[in-house]
Amino acid sequence: VIDPTPLLCIACGTTAVPGDLYCEICGAPLVDPARAGSPCVACGEAASEIQDGYCRSCGRKQPAARDSLTGTDGNGEVAAVTDRGRRRRRNEDAFAISATPDGRVMAVVSDGVSSTTDSDLASQQAAEAAVVALRAAGDREPADALDDAYRAALEAASNLPDSSGSPPSCTFLALIATLYSVDLASMGDCRAFWLPEEGRPQTLTEDDSWAAAQVTAGRMTVAQAHADPKSHGITRWLGCDADPSWEPRRVQFTAPGPGRLVLCSDGLWNYTPDARDVARAAGVGSPTAIASRLVEYAKGRGGQDNITVVVVAIPCGTNADASKGPPT
Amino acid sequence: MTFSVKIFQNEFLAEGAGKVDAIVKVTSTGGPKLAPTADKAVVLVVDASGSMDHPRTKLLSARKGAATAVELLPDGTLFALVAGNHEARCVYPGPGQRLARADATTKSEAVALTSRLQAEGGTAISTWIDEVRRLVEPHTDAIRLAYLLTDGKNESETSEALDDALARATGVFQCDARGVGPEWSVRELKRISSALLGDAGRIAEPSEMEKDFLAFMNRAIGRTIADVRLRVWTPKGSAIELFSQVAPTIEDLTSKAAVMPPLSREYPTGAWGGQEARDYHLSVQVPPDDVGEEKLAARVTLVVGNDVVGQGDVKAIWTEEVELSTRINREVAHYTNQEELAEYVDKGFEALEEKDFDTATEKFQRVFELAQEAGRDDVIESLANVIDIDGDTVRIRPGWQPDDMNKLILGSERTVRVESEDPEGGPSVDEAAS
């Protein structure tokens, strides 16, 4: 099982669920354990002056656990980073990743729809529920497993209480990969990119967005659509106000050779709309190195939105079954 | 007794902005019976200057009011009755005596002696204040409260003499100040009540005096927790621009802060009863942070003795969402409006005193507008005695009386409280765009 690092509440010491913002026991804001005992991020005041998550000198709220989370599997075939970015006050993106002993890699990325309350909870719970379903599917057909994952994510997001008349909602992108075989299900505007070691990078997914609809209908070019203020409006989502007839888009892809798969939220692809842009920003290296580099790239370009990146090495699961060769 | 501290604010700021306004609502519940038993010292100071005889009902009503108040004293209360003119005289238990302890005997003795209150001589309020201080000073553990009634200006001494006496009495006892008749000065009354954490009030008719004495005694009996302070921490580089009580009356406490290094200030609020609600307006300027960041702009703790009995956090979150940063919190708006109203009354009065009628007219016109916005019919009614409003034309009434102004000033400083929902229970604010 690959999960983000467990978190400890700095106020009461309780182990918290990864991705939670506040301690379930005492309500204190959770702080990344890597930051526990660190001086203030803003003014450098000693750690002893950090109280309830705020600096007692300059007042700055210290980074919450969910502001920046990383996850990786044991052998480095899949790595994930999610980051609050530079402008949003909380991280409403979430990821969940997992791998089975027989070499199946699973990953989910979800982006909370930021015009709704508690969308951070929607994305978190949808991603967790989806990866649980993917694991429970065992070695069933990827298409069936992804179907289960989508239903589980939809149910998780729909079950959240609507406290303000704008129900919590989120997007969804799930992956199952084994060796060179890649299955995807998506709803909303998270994207998957294929970055081959040799050859032309590809965008594997289509957005359920206003911009995509304009382009598909031939009303606008990609550039025109993305320049429009409405471009970020999504046309499908998960939540209790989602249309029950909606089905996720499905992609079945067989990689022609080794490379990297990148799953991301729009916090990244806003700055890399084309697969070639992603490839340039990604560079080469391990999934961990690429995931961090892409997040830093988006932050360097302004970090307007939350950023989540999952990188999978293809072929994956080779350690589990080395006898399987590349496709012919 | 338990306290609660609740914060009402818009925590969102535009990029580069640093001013954070919040309303701090403090309430006490639990009633006096649950409170620790502290000794209580109550001193009644009654004006006994010559003018109290004109009309004689003033003196007679004051005697009756004082007698009624004494009868209401719970057994065990420390008390004294002081008559004040150009000097102070302890009527009961007697000149140079220490406070008496209330029981059937002492109370009936004191009631009998109220008839000794005579109207003669001038007015030197510093001597009254000093006499109360002399009486209550030894009782350092007691809740010490005084009621001071005057019908005239402090004309038998310099203004500095009163200031000096008030400085000596600050922190020793609290004092409510009342004016009766047309001659007293609202500024003097407020100097006394502000310095001594009490409230200033106007008794319109001598016949209302007994009721006011009674109301004071009931408040005094209810006050069971002494020395409650509001401690305000603000971040390094910030400045508290305003800390003012805004309900039940407007009382600017900004200059009363005791500095608590490194980053806190403490404001005295005096003694509290078990069923009180007071609201405060905090305005703090903090160094702006980056968009997306959050800062604690202030932490307000309620302190009794050395114990923290309540806490509320004021936050600042910088955002690009104009819809968020331009929102005005309902409570902040409500009190800002009333503070502005009181400020314009004060400015208008100041201009009138300087015979600057143009400025006064302009200020009172604004008072009229603000009072209309706030639905303060009481203020509009008082204002009508000072200015004549005919459509868009406003002019100062030539025959306005000082007492009309007293009524207007004190009325404008008594605020209407806004009913608030629990800030925790309300819908949370979220970012608007995708």
| DSSP-assigned beta bridge partners for residue B197 | none
- Shortest CA distance to A111 belongs to which of A241, A11, A219, A207? A207
| pLDDT for res A199 | 95
Judge: B292–A61 Cβ closer than 8 Å, yes or no: no
Is the minimum CB–CB distance between B235 and chain A shorter than 8 Å? yes
The DSSP secondary-structure symbol of A254 reads E
B292 → closest Cβ in A43, A59, A89: A89
**Is B91 or B29 the better-scoring residue by pLDDT?**
B91
> Cα–Cα distance between B249 and B255 in angstroms, integer?
17
- Shortest CA distance to B303 belongs to which of B263, B266, B273, B257? B266
| pLDDT for res A279 | 97
| pLDDT for res A7 | 53
Q: What is the pLDDT of residues B125-169, one digit of tens each?
A: 999 999 999 999 999 999 999 999 999 999 999 999 999 999 999
Is the minimum CB–CB distance between A7 and chain B shorter than 8 Å? no
Q: What is the pLDDT of residues B332-352, one digit of tens each?
A: 999 999 999 999 999 999 999
The DSSP secondary-structure symbol of B360 reads H
Q: How many CA atoms lie within 13 A of B415 on its CB side?
A: 27
Residue B119: phi and psi, rounded to 5, are -100, 110
Concatenating the DSSP letter of every residue in A268-284 gives: HHTT--SHHHHHHHH-S
B430 → closest Cβ in A54, A58, A116: A116
Reported as a pLDDT band with limits 50, 70 and 90, residue A38 is confident
Query: Cα B336 to the chain's mean position, in Å?
Result: 17
pLDDT surpasses 60 at A9: no
Residue B324: phi and psi, rounded to 5, are -80, -45
Is the minimum CB–CB distance between A135 and chain B shorter than 8 Å? no
Judge: B296–A166 Cβ closer than 8 Å, yes or no: no
pLDDT surpasses 80 at A24: no
Q: What letter represents residue A59's amino acid?
A: G
B428 → closest Cβ in A43, A56, A163: A163
Q: What does the pLDDT average to over A191-212?
A: 96
Reported as a pLDDT band with limits 50, 70 and 90, residue B391 is confident
- Shortest CA distance to A140 belongs to which of A110, A96, A102, A95? A102
| pLDDT for res A33 | 54
> Cα–Cα distance between A264 and A277 in angstroms, integer?
13
| pLDDT for res A12 | 57
Q: What does the pLDDT average to over A269-295?
A: 96
ipTM score here?
A: 0.81
Name the closest residue on chain B to residue A56, using Cα atoms.
B235
**Is B34 or A232 the better-scoring residue by pLDDT?**
A232
Name the closest residue on chain B to residue A84, using Cα atoms.
B292
| pLDDT for res A159 | 93
Judge: B294–A163 Cβ closer than 8 Å, yes or no: no
Instruction: Decide if B281 contacts B23 (C-beta within 8 A).
Output: yes
From B289's Cα to the closest Cα of chain A, the distance in A is: 8
B317 → closest Cβ in A56, A89, A164: A89
pLDDT surpasses 50 at A323: no
Is the minimum CB–CB distance between A163 and chain B shorter than 8 Å? yes
| pLDDT for res B434 | 31
From B287's Cα to the closest Cα of chain A, the distance in A is: 9
From B3's Cα to the closest Cα of chain A, the distance in A is: 21
Crossing angle of helices B159-169 and B125-136, in 10° steps, is 10
Reported as a pLDDT band with limits 50, 70 and 90, residue B364 is very high
A59 → closest Cβ in B297, B430, B433: B297
**Is B209 or A74 the better-scoring residue by pLDDT?**
B209
Residues of A in Cβ contact (< 8 Å) with B291? 86-87
The three-point CA angle A69-A73-A79 to 5° equals 50
Is the minimum CB–CB distance between A318 and chain B shorter than 8 Å? no
pTM of the model: 0.82
- Shortest CA distance to B145 belongs to which of B163, B169, B124? B169
- Shortest CA distance to B424 belongs to which of B5, B2, B30, B3? B5
Is the minimum CB–CB distance between A59 and chain B shorter than 8 Å? yes
Name the closest residue on chain B to residue A90, using Cα atoms.
B292
Lowest-pLDDT range, A102-116, A137-151, B133-147, B255-269? A102-116
| pLDDT for res A17 | 59
| pLDDT for res B399 | 86
| pLDDT for res B99 | 97
Reported as a pLDDT band with limits 50, 70 and 90, residue A164 is confident
Percent of chain B at pLDDT exceeding 70: 95
| DSSP-assigned beta bridge partners for residue B24 | B7, B280
| pLDDT for res A163 | 77
From A316's Cα to the closest Cα of chain B, the distance in A is: 34
Q: What letter represents residue B125's amino acid?
A: I
Judge: A164–B431 Cβ closer than 8 Å, yes or no: no
Please state the three-class secondary structure of B94-149 as a single string. CCCCCCEECCHHHHHHHHHHHHHCCCCCCCCHHHHHHHHHHHHCCCCCCEEEEEEE
| CA distances, A68 to each of A62, A91, A306, B190, B209 (Å) | 12, 8, 10, 55, 67
From B281's Cα to the closest Cα of chain A, the distance in A is: 20
Judge: A87–B238 Cβ closer than 8 Å, yes or no: no
Name the closest residue on chain B to residue A167, using Cα atoms.
B430
> Cα–Cα distance between B154 and B125 in angstroms, integer?
6
Lowest-pLDDT range, A213-217, A258-262, A304-308, B58-62? A213-217
B291 → closest Cβ in A87, A114, A118: A87
SS3 B245: strand
| pLDDT for res A6 | 47
- Shortest CA distance to A91 belongs to which of A83, A102, A99, A103? A83
Residues of A in Cβ contact (< 8 Å) with B428? 117-118, 163-164
Query: Of A116-120, A227-231, B150-154, where does the model show the most confidence?
Result: B150-154
Is the minimum CB–CB distance between B237 and chain A shorter than 8 Å? yes
Longest Cα–Cα distance of chain A, Å, equals 63
- Cβ-based contacts under 8 A for chains A and B: 80
Residues of B in Cβ contact (< 8 Å) with A84? 292
| pLDDT for res A5 | 46
Q: How many CA atoms lie within 13 A of A277 on its CB side?
A: 11
Judge: B433–A88 Cβ closer than 8 Å, yes or no: no
Is the minimum CB–CB distance between B319 and chain A shorter than 8 Å? yes
A61 → closest Cβ in B294, B320, B430: B294
pLDDT surpasses 80 at B216: yes
Is the minimum CB–CB distance between B427 and chain A shorter than 8 Å? yes
> Cα–Cα distance between A234 and B409 in angstroms, integer?
57
Reported as a pLDDT band with limits 50, 70 and 90, residue A89 is confident
Q: What does the pLDDT average to over B205-220?
A: 95
Range B397-428 burial, b when 16+ CB lie within 10 A, else e = eeeeebbbbbbbbbbbbbbeebebeeeeeeee
Name the closest residue on chain A to residue B297, using Cα atoms.
A59
Instruction: Decide if B277 contacts B247 (C-beta within 8 A).
Output: yes
Mean pLDDT of chain B: 92
Q: List the 270-299 stretch of B: residues with Cβ below 8 A of A.
A: 286-287, 289-297
> Cα–Cα distance between A288 and A179 in angstroms, integer?
19
| pLDDT for res B418 | 79
Mean pLDDT of chain A: 87
SS3 B192: helix
Percent of chain A at pLDDT exceeding 70: 86
Count of residues in chain A = 328
Instruction: Decide if B52 contacts B62 (C-beta within 8 A).
Output: yes
Judge: A114–B432 Cβ closer than 8 Å, yes or no: yes
